[in-house]
């Protein structure tokens, strides 16, 4: 029996070679095609798709949307989850086709970080101020890996606009600074965090949670809500130390939760504040069992 459903032909180019990607990027540049770019580490979810939609909106129907999938070894510490980071390229390809991505860039480790003994990879991009606290303190080599790979990807893809998620607030701030400091000709756009109905921020790492841990994981969002409430009830501000103690107490009353950090800071400079007021940014990292989750919000 023949189906009456229309067949959708969603063509998406998949490029794995850096020179090929650069040739295409140059051609688009010559032709004046606007390119929106979403760098990812794959295992895509609704949050990534919202970044793709934002890139499409900015690039326009005549523009191109490029997504990269690359689990970047340089941003994982030696005892972190690089080898077990979730990967499912076939599923990601389907999601990208459905989201009408024009090109999926999936480079290999050998191309991104050549290892030949005569000419090994030896150049890194390091942001020296904003990357010292929070994620940078807990994961000392993390941002060096992020800025290096993002600089490389921007050089390879040559987009007009690159879209990042607000869940990684510090990452987005550091990338903006890098783009400004190194005069990289790209506009950086930061799109809002997508959440589960109970407030848990979408993250590829949520996959690691057991059902009990998943139930507990909305403690990050609950603690943001509590901090928001405290802020709104104290128009003159609340001491950051007091707020931190309250948040830690709330989180550590959960059986599987352990706070890595809770921070209150100015959203522009990332400087810690002593007094938390409306507009102060809060960020936190919490281990739920063995899974480390992060979140942040303006209070
Ligand atoms: O946010 C991420 O997924 C990664 O840090 C990024 C920006 C793709 C760099 O590897």
Q: How far is the CA of 150 from the centre of ligand 1 (A)?
A: 7
Q: Which of 37, 38, 41 to probe ligand 1 with, by most ligand atoms within 8 A of CB?
A: 41
Supply the pTM of this predicted model. Answer: 0.95
Residues 6+ apart with CB under 8 A from 203: 45, 47, 167, 293, 294
> Residue 91 is encoded by which pair of tokens?
């599923």
> Residue 28 is encoded by which pair of tokens?
């688009």
Q: Which of 149, 169, 175, 191 to probe ligand 1 with, by most ligand atoms within 8 A of CB?
A: 149
Residues 6+ apart with CB under 8 A from 241: 274
Taking the C-alpha atoms of residue 192 and residue 195, their distance in angstroms, rounded to an integer, is 10
Q: How far is the CA of 147 from the centre of ligand 1 (A)?
A: 9
Predicted pLDDT of residue 211: 98
Q: Which of 43, 71, 75 to probe ligand 1 with, by most ligand atoms within 8 A of CB?
A: 75
Taking the C-alpha atoms of residue 58 and residue 53, their distance in angstroms, rounded to an integer, is 9
Predicted pLDDT of residue 77: 97
Given 45, 48, 142, 271, which residue is catalytic?
Answer: 48
Task: Tell me, yes or no, if 232 is annotated catalytic.
Answer: no
Write the class of the CATH domain 13-191.
alpha beta
Per the CB < 8 A criterion, the answer to whether 241 and 271 are in contact is no
Residues at CB less than 6 angstroms from ligand 1: 39-41, 72, 75, 146, 149-150, 168, 171
Per the CB < 8 A criterion, the answer to whether 207 and 179 are in contact is no
The C-alpha torsion from 98 through 57 and 206 to 294, rounded to 10°, is 170
Q: Where are the domains of the chain?
A: 13-191, 204-298
Predicted pLDDT of residue 134: 98
Count other Cβ atoms within 10 Å, centred on residue 197: 6
As a whole number of angstroms, the longest Cα–Cα distance in the chain is: 71
Q: Which atom of ligand 1 lies nearest, measured to the CA of 70? A: 10
Q: How far is the CA of 235 from the centre of ligand 1 (A)?
A: 37
Closest protein CA for atom 3 of ligand 1: 40
Q: What is the Cβ-side half-sphere exposure of residue 208, based on CA atoms within 13 angstroms?
A: 16
Backbone φ, ψ for residue 159 (5° rounding): -80, 160
pLDDT in tens, the chain (299 residues): 444 565 555 699 999 999 999 999 999 999 999 999 999 999 999 999 999 999 999 999 999 999 999 999 999 999 999 999 999 999 999 999 999 999 999 999 999 999 999 999 999 999 999 999 999 999 999 999 999 999 999 999 999 999 999 999 999 999 999 999 999 999 999 999 999 999 999 999 999 999 999 999 999 999 999 999 999 999 899 999 999 999 999 999 999 999 999 999 999 999 999 999 999 999 999 999 999 999 999 99
Closest protein CA for atom 5 of ligand 1: 146
Predicted pLDDT of residue 5: 61
The per-residue b/e assignment along 47-78, b for 16 or more CB within 10 angstroms, e otherwise, is: bbbbbbbbbbebbeeebbbbbbbbbbebbbee
Per the CB < 8 A criterion, the answer to whether 189 and 271 are in contact is no
Q: Which atom of ligand 1 lies nearest, measured to the CA of 75? A: 10
Q: Which atom of ligand 1 lies nearest, measured to the CA of 204? A: 3
Give the helix ranges, DSSP H, for the chain.
Answer: 18-31, 46-59, 89-98, 109-112, 135-138, 142-157, 169-181, 211-216, 219-233, 240-252
Write the class of the CATH domain 204-298.
alpha beta
């Amino acid at each position: 029996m023949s189906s009456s459903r229309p067949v959708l032909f969603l063509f998406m180019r998949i490029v794995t070679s850096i020179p090929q990607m650069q040739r295409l990027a140059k051609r688009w540049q010559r032709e004046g095609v606007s390119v929106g770019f979403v760098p990812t580490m794959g295992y895509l979810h609704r949050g990534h798709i919202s970044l793709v939609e934002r890139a499409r909106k900015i690039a326009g129907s005549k523009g191109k949307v490029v997504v990269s999938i690359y689990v970047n070894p340089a941003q994982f510490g030696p005892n972190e989850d690089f080898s077990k980071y979730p990967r499912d390229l076939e599923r990601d390809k389907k999601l990208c086709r459905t989201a009408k991505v024009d090109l999926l860039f999936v480079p290999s480790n050998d191309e991104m970080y050549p290892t030949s003994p005569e000419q090994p990879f030896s150049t890194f991009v390091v942001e020296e101020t904003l990357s010292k606290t929070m994620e940078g303190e807990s994961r000392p080599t993390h941002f060096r890996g992020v800025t290096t790979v993002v600089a490389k990807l921007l050089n390879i893809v040559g987009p007009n606009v690159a879209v990042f998620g607000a869940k990684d607030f510090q990452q987005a701030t550091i990338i903006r600074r890098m783009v400004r400091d190194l005069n990289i000709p790209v506009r950086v756009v930061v799109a809002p965090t997508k959440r589960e109905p109970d407030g848990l921020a979408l993250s590829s790492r949520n996959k690691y949670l057991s059902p009990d841990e998943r139930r507990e994981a909305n403690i990050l969002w609950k603690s943001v809500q509590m901090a928001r409430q405290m802020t709104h009830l104290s128009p003159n501000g609340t001491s950051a130390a007091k707020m931190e103690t309250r948040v830690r107490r709330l989180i550590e009353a959960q059986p599987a939760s352990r706070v890595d950090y809770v921070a209150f800071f100015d959203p522009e400079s990332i400087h810690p504040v002593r007094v938390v007021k409306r507009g102060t940014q809060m960020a936190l990292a919490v281990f739920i069992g063995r899974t480390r989750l992060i979140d942040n919000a303006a209070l």
